[in-house]
Structure 1
Amino acid sequence: MQVRFLPFLVLLFALCPFISKSQKTAQPEYYQLSIYKYSKTEQEAVLKQYFETALVPALHRQQINRVGVFEKIANDTAAVKELYVLIPLKNPGQQELVRQRLQKDAPYLSASQPFREANYKTPAYDRMETIWLKAFALMPALKIPALTGQKQERVYELRSYQSPTEQLFRSKVKMFNEGGEIAIFKNLNFNAVFYGEVIAGCHMPNLMYLTTHENKEDRDAHWKSFGSDPAWKRLNTMEEYKNNVSHIDISFLRPLACSDI
């Protein structure tokens, strides 16, 4: 019995490195981030109704259950207002499949009629921008934040880091992954939803990430701890990561009631 069992053990130990590697190498998700820009309160009502009663339920019927729907906190005073929709996908090709299924989804077509068939004089929105992202290797899947407070009190922070060149952009991506910047955010409980490199957008080369906080005071406290963190101070002074960010855009968002995130 022992002689027969030995070859099996040898084979098992030989396969262990490959099994371990396959478990660690998860395929990165892709994210479709759409930004709807509008200027009238009537448009806001149509958009929010569309997201709540048509789009999000239809995506759920397609087993896409981590849909983010956010409004810009600055909408309260801004002339041009923005609503954001974040959809995680297994691959870029899934987007076309999602679109085709929406066109055959009777409840969606009925609920989305005010949005889709708005009069040309009163469109549902002024412009819409779509950004495509690929998740970072060290956070390959979108994560729902572990927050307990009311959604209307939360502060979600969407950041975009532009780089001056492709090489310096790769340096910044490496800084997040192998360099340990993601690990620092995780250790400090920033409740990140995603980190990703933009593969189609108007500010490339750039990366984007979304962190979440219970409220503004919680957000400020987290960034204060980040700035004084010893690991960040070491990382930020490393020569290989110098000058890899040329511009930063920050948008403060809050989730709508229909948001899964």
Structure 2
Amino acid sequence: MTSTNKKATVFFLLLAFVCLGLQLQAVAAPKPEFYQLKIYHLNNQKQEDRLDAFLKEAYLPALHRAGIAKVGVFKPAEELAEKTTTPAKKLVYVFIPFRSSEQMFQLDSKLQKDKQFQSAGKDYLEAAHNNPVYDRMEVIMMEAFAGKPAFSMPNLKSNAADRVYELRSYEAATEKLHQNKIDMFNNGEMAIFDRLGFNAVFYGQVKAGSKMPNLLYMTTFENKAARDEKWKAFGEDPTWKKLSAMSEYANNFLRADIYLLRPTSYSDI
């Protein structure tokens, strides 16, 4: 083999190793999931009963048939409302995780073709204008953080009625500061939550919603006492104190809203 051929062989071998490395890196870095959070605003108990029936008997089963195995349905923990920054209202939260944006945007067309869903959900889907199932519905679309690209089922052992699911919303003054807060989560804050056993379900950057720029995340606890204990430990954690004192993360959120929730009896999460 000539010197030129040897050089060419070495070059192509190096190129092959680089390409293989890039392929392995792509496989090792999972694509972030997309999330949808629907928030139903209700006027009365009748609407709540009708919505519960629709979600339990029609919507969740249809989502399962569409390939979405786990859907979370939550309501405000009204007895804990005075402890939060936002008063409890008659609300229902529906959290839907998607493997991709395509799956999220194709869902409605799939449901339109699902005859079982159309039949089981008739009261909701064909409600009269003067007898709606809800007063208002918000829809928030999110993309998972790079540091937690997929949602997790909480590892809880207590009765569902005792569990506390905490949804937090962080708005920022600018898009740059908003991204800075996400970087803070990816660069250490989420690791602290994991170490202290916060049982996070998801972290999501809001791509479309009524509050922008914004991020949402959900942590879960066995009960209210455990929740308070975990947050006390978080506030006293040396790593958190060091991270939160860094000048590079100063003023990266403008307002934080806290919602304490309970899972419904038919929630998958």
Question: Is TM more than 0.5 here?
Answer: yes
Tell me whether 207-216 or 99-108 shows the greater mean CA deviation.
99-108
Letter in 2 for 1:260: D
Alpha carbons of structure 1 residues 10 and 241: separation in structure 2 relative to 1, 3 Å: closer
Match of 2:59 in 1: 55
Q: What is the CA distance between 1:76 and its match in structure 2?
A: 9.4
Letter in 2 for 1:88: P
Alpha carbons of structure 1 residues 236 and 151: separation in structure 2 relative to 1, 3 Å: same
> Does residue 93 of the first structure (1) align with residue 102 of the second (2)?
yes
Tell me whether 114-123 or 193-202 shows the greater mean CA deviation.
114-123
Contact 2:34/2:97, CA 8 A, preserved across alignment: yes
Match of 2:251 in 1: 243
Contact 1:160/1:208, CA 8 A, preserved across alignment: yes
> Does residue 41 of the first structure (1) align with residue 54 of the second (2)?
no
Q: What is the CA distance between 1:95 and its match in structure 2?
A: 2.8
- 1:100-179 matches, within 5 Å, as 100-177=109-186, 179=187
Please give the secondary structure, in 2, of the residue aligned with 1:212: strand
Provide the C-alpha distance between the structure 2 equivalents of 1:100 and 1:134, rounded to a whole number of angstroms: 21
Q: What is the CA distance between 1:18 and its match in structure 2?
A: 3.4
> Does residue 259 of the first structure (1) align with residue 257 of the second (2)?
no
> In the TM superposition, what whole-angstrom CA distance separates every residue of 1:151-194 from its partner, at most 9, and x where no partner exists?
111100000001111111111011000x2001010111100000
Point out where structure 1 has 5 or more consecutive residues left out of the alignment: 1-6
Please give the secondary structure, in 1, of the residue aligned with 2:25: helix
Tell me whether 10-19 or 89-98 shows the greater mean CA deviation.
10-19
Match of 1:232 in 2: 240
Alpha carbons of structure 1 residues 194 and 157: separation in structure 2 relative to 1, 3 Å: same
Contact 1:75/1:82, CA 8 A, preserved across alignment: no
Contact 2:34/2:104, CA 8 A, preserved across alignment: no
Provide the C-alpha distance between the structure 2 equivalents of 1:187 and 1:40, rounded to a whole number of angstroms: 41
Please give the secondary structure, in 2, of the residue aligned with 1:156: strand
Identity across the alignment (%): 47
Q: What is the CA distance between 1:93 and its match in structure 2?
A: 3.1
Give 1 or 2 for the bigger CA radius of gyration: 2
Q: What is the CA distance between 1:16 and its match in structure 2?
A: 6.4
Q: What is the CA distance between 1:111 and its match in structure 2?
A: 1.1
Q: Taking structure 1 as the reference length, what is the TM-score of the superposition?
A: 0.90
Point out where structure 2 has 5 or more consecutive residues left out of the alignment: 1-9, 82-86
Alpha carbons of structure 1 residues 62 and 249: separation in structure 2 relative to 1, 3 Å: same
Please give the secondary structure, in 1, of the residue aligned with 2:161: helix
Provide the C-alpha distance between the structure 2 equivalents of 1:79 and 1:253, rounded to a whole number of angstroms: 9
Match of 1:3 in 2: none
Contact 1:39/1:79, CA 8 A, preserved across alignment: no
Provide the C-alpha distance between the structure 2 equivalents of 1:207 and 1:136, rounded to a whole number of angstroms: 10
Provide the C-alpha distance between the structure 1 equivalents of 2:93 and 2:268, rounded to a whole number of angstroms: 13
Alpha carbons of structure 1 residues 209 and 153: separation in structure 2 relative to 1, 3 Å: same
Provide the C-alpha distance between the structure 2 equivalents of 1:74 and 1:119, rounded to a whole number of angstroms: 30
Letter in 1 for 2:195: N
> In the TM superposition, what whole-angstrom CA distance separates every residue of 1:93-127 from its partner, at most 9, and x where no partner exists?
32332111111212111111111222322210000
Provide the C-alpha distance between the structure 2 equivalents of 1:31 and 1:229, rounded to a whole number of angstroms: 30
Letter in 2 for 1:149: S
Provide the C-alpha distance between the structure 2 equivalents of 1:120 and 1:241, rounded to a whole number of angstroms: 48
Contact 2:80/2:260, CA 8 A, preserved across alignment: no
Q: What is the CA distance between 1:11 and its match in structure 2?
A: 9.3
The match for 2:22 among 18, 21, 29 is: 18
> Does residue 72 of the first structure (1) align with residue 76 of the second (2)?
yes
